[in-house]
Amino acid sequence: MNWRHGLAAASGDVAALLFALMAVWASFTADEPEAYVFPQLISILMLVFCGINFVRRAVTQFAGKPPLDAVLLKKIAPGAAVICVYILTAETVGFYLAAAVVFATLSLLYGAATHRKQVFIVTGAVVAVLYSLFSLLLRVQVPREFFL
């Protein structure tokens, strides 16, 4: 394998690793880092898993998976756009409403559900679990919408 093909094949792995590094940095450099324990834990786990995947793929010289090409980017772009909109609007519209919209949108874009009714039922269940986990069990303060 020449170095150009290896670099192209590793581009997705490198992008994931860099994103995980940025998430760890962002979670630890906030104004009050002690208030971000949950995001810190998630970002560290993400970094560990991305690092393990990168090493695993480097050992095999990034064989077996296609490089990050235009076709794959076209598949990923709508989901990335939805996540960017979520990041920009979650504080304004509230965590649970934004999470419901994002989950339903991503499910409709990438899910295997054949009926929209299934998507909305599962979305409601996921938001209920998020509410139970964050607000009731962990007592994490999340951006609130007007009805919660």
What is residue 106's predicted lDDT score, i.e. its pLDDT? Answer: 92
Angle subtended by helix axes 95-110 and 70-93, to nearest 10: 160
pLDDT tens over the chain, length 148 residues:
555 666 667 778 888 899 899 988 888 887 776 667 777 888 899 999 999 988 888 888 777 666 667 787 888 899 989 988 988 888 888 888 989 999 999 999 988 777 888 999 999 999 999 888 888 887 777 767 655 5
Cα dihedral 134, 132, 112, 117 in deg (nearest 10): -130
The pair of structure tokens assigned to 139 is 């007592």
Looking at residue 118, its amino acid is Q
- Is the entire prediction scored with pTM above 0.85? no
- Cα angle 68, 73, 76 (rounded to 5 degrees) comes to 115
What is residue 70's predicted lDDT score, i.e. its pLDDT? Answer: 78
User: 50-85: buried (b, 16+ CB within 10 Å) or exposed (e) per residue?
Assistant: beeebeebeeeebeeeebbeeeeeeeeeeeeebeee
- Cα angle 110, 112, 76 (rounded to 5 degrees) comes to 15
What is residue 143's predicted lDDT score, i.e. its pLDDT? Answer: 67
Helices of type H across 29-69:
37-59
